[in-house]
């Protein structure tokens, strides 16, 4: 059986074609601003950070032990050296050192200039001020060399990059406390539909609560984004048109949910044709076929379906890559794994399909997956239960229990 949604359609764009077209029409922002390191998490680095110092800044010990000169090592026999002082982390030994002498040293302690080797404290015997070393001590061991991580004036982090907590630690280790980052892209989002009822009000016949804006608000929690919730707009073409024109003047992107289908009250394509342009319309993906992408002046427009699961999938696989590219960094690709399907699942050929699944890992490291429940695009409970998508290629006609399938985890943690 062929997917009924594509039988009477012109050829729909594949997911890859959609992403390619979208990326080719989006220009990353160039505006930048300087922020303190405390405010830089998740921001996009606008220019590469150069290290003003060597990292490490000094030769230092990677172990607690004793620092000595490799010229004092007797490679074939045990040997002894005189202990003359201690180098602590933050309090280096600053006296002179002669042949036959060593220094007690702690992890991170500066290795005196005359010394080049550290022997772990567990491998020596200390009696008074004499330290006895074993045979076959390895020269130059347990020493962190100046600049072995990053040399002075070398690139510390290459732009553009969305800064992680680790990146902030790396910048701080070089003494950098301010960075130039891309400005946040401004995103407006709204829901459309006469049927939508605000939370806190009782439902009446034919009405539903507006869930999509709450999902979008959470999905858009990126430090590189600045968001505006425009609320719910009824199925009024003039009101929606005016709102989109006003929002496009002050935002880089607009995201709508609902109104992107072919019903008599679905105005998105008609409005875009009038006040902007439509660059793609409908894709060969299930759920999420009715998707619009275009522009209103310089503002990019993403029109998502109204069904909540379609919103989630379209956002994760299409909208977020577009927004990330607009914000100035390379879109992240979803991790794909293979897993053994624990049940048979039917599918009609014609569209790339994403099934909500529950992925688990056995003690031996193997992965298994099963359906998270009912798969209607209006059924949000199975999306809540799911921790992955099972990905079925467009030509797939279903799978049997025990077949190996492709899965995309929704997070880095699985049950």
pLDDT the model gives residue 388: 95
Two tokens, residue 195: 């049927």
d(CA 415, CA 410): 12
Per-residue pLDDT band for 10 (boundaries 50, 70, 90) equals low
The domains found in the chain, sorted by start residue, are: 4-29+184-327 (3.40.980.10), 32-55+148-182 (3.90.105.10), 60-144 (2.170.190.11), 337-409 (2.40.340.10)
Which tens digits make up the pLDDT trace of 222-274? 999 999 999 998 888 899 999 999 999 999 999 999 865 554 446 778 888 89
> Which pLDDT score is estimated for 206?
86
- Sequence-distant (6+) residues with CB within 8 A of 57 are 146
Crossing angle (nearest 10°) for helices 268-275 and 237-250: 50
Sheet holding 292-296, edge to edge: 225-233, 185-192, 253-257, 299-304, 292-296, 277-281
> Which pLDDT does position 413 carry in this prediction?
65
The whole-number pLDDT of residue 1 equals 41
pLDDT given at position 2:
46
pTM for this one?
0.85
Cα torsion for 370, 376, 382, 383, to the nearest 10°?
Answer: 100
pLDDT computed for residue 267 by the predictor = 74
Q: Longest C-alpha distance within the chain, in Å?
A: 93
What is the structure's pLDDT at 45?
97
Closest CA to 135 of 115, 112, 111, 119: 119
Instruction: Give the least confident one: 6-10, 326-330, 347-351.
Output: 6-10
105 sits in which H/E element: strand 101-105
For residues 88 and 94, what is the distance between their CA atoms, to the nearest angstrom?
11
Report percent pLDDT > 90 for the chain: 71
Cα separations (Å) of 414 from 63, 169, 332, 362, 366?
A: 36, 28, 20, 11, 12
- What is the distance between the alpha carbons of residues 174 and 187, in angstroms, rounded to a whole number? 34
Q: What pLDDT score does 237 carry?
A: 87
- Cβ burial, residue 161 (10 Å; 0-12/13-18/19+): middle
Report the distance separating Cα 159 and Cα 157, nearest Å.
Answer: 7
Question: In the predicted model, is pLDDT for residue 4 greater than 50?
Answer: no
pLDDT in tens, 397-413: 889 999 999 999 998 66
Residue 82 backbone class (left: φ over 0; alpha: ψ -120 to 50; beta: rest): beta
Render pLDDT for 366-393 as a digit per residue (tens, 0 to 9): 999 999 989 988 899 999 999 999 999 9
Distances in Å between the Cα of 212 and the Cα atoms of 199, 368, 409 are 12, 30, 22
Q: Give strand pairing partners of 55.
A: 150
34-45: per-residue pLDDT in tens? 999 999 999 999
User: pLDDT confidence of 309, banded at 50, 70, 90?
Assistant: very high
pLDDT value at 414 more than 70: no
pLDDT digits (tens, 9 = 90+) for 146-198: 999 999 999 999 999 999 999 999 999 999 999 999 999 999 999 988 888 88
Looking at per-residue pLDDT, the higher value among 208 and 111 belongs to: 111
| Mean pLDDT of the 318-335 span | 90
């Amino acid at each position: 059986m062929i997917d009924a949604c594509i039988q009477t359609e012109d050829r729909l764009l594949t997911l890859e074609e959609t992403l390619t077209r979208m990326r080719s029409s989006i220009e990353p922002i160039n505006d930048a601003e300087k922020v303190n390191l405390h405010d830089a998490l998740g921001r996009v680095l606008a220019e590469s950070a150069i290290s003003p110092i060597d990292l490490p800044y000094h030769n230092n010990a990677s172990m607690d032990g004793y620092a000595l000169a490799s010229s004092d090592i007797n490679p074939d026999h045990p040997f002894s050296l005189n202990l003359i002082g201690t180098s602590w982390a933050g309090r280096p030994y600053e006296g002179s050192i002669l042949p036959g002498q060593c220094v007690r040293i702690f992890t991170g302690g500066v290795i005196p200039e005359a010394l080049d080797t550290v022997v772990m404290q567990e491998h020596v015997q200390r009696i008074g001020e004499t330290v006895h070393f074993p045979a076959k001590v390895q020269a130059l061991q347990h020493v962190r060399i100046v600049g072995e991580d990053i040399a002075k004036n070398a690139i510390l982090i290459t732009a553009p990059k969305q800064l992680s907590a680790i990146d902030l630690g790396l910048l701080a280790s070089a003494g950098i406390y301010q960075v130039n980052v891309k400005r946040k892209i401004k995103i407006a989002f709204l829901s459309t539909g006469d049927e939508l009822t605000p939370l806190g009000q009782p439902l009446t016949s034919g009405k539903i609560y507006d869930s999509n804006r709450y999902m979008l608000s959470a999905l858009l929690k990126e430090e590189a984004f600045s968001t505006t919730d425009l609320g719910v707009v009824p199925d009024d073409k003039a009101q929606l048109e005016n709102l989109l024109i006003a929002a496009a003047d002050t935002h880089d992107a607009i995201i709508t949910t609902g109104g992107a289908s072919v019903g008599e009250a679905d105005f998105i394509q008609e409005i875009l044709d009038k006040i902007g342009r439509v660059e793609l319309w409908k894709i060969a993906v299930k759920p999420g076929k009715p998707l619009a992408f275009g522009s209103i002046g310089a503002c990019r427009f993403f029109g998502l379906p109204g069904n909540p699961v379609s919103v989630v999938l379209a956002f994760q696989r299409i909208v977020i890559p577009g927004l990330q590219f607009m914000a100035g960094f390379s879109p992240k690709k979803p991790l794909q794994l293979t897993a053994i399907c624990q049940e048979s699942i039917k599918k009609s050929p014609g569209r790339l399909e994403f099934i909500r699944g529950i992925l688990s890992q056995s003690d031996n490291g193997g992965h298994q997956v099963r359906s998270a429940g009912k798969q209607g695009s209006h059924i949000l409970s199975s999306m809540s239960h799911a921790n992955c998508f099972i990905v079925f290629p467009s030509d797939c006609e279903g799978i049997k229990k025990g077949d190996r399938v492709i899965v995309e985890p929704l997070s880095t943690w699985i049950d």
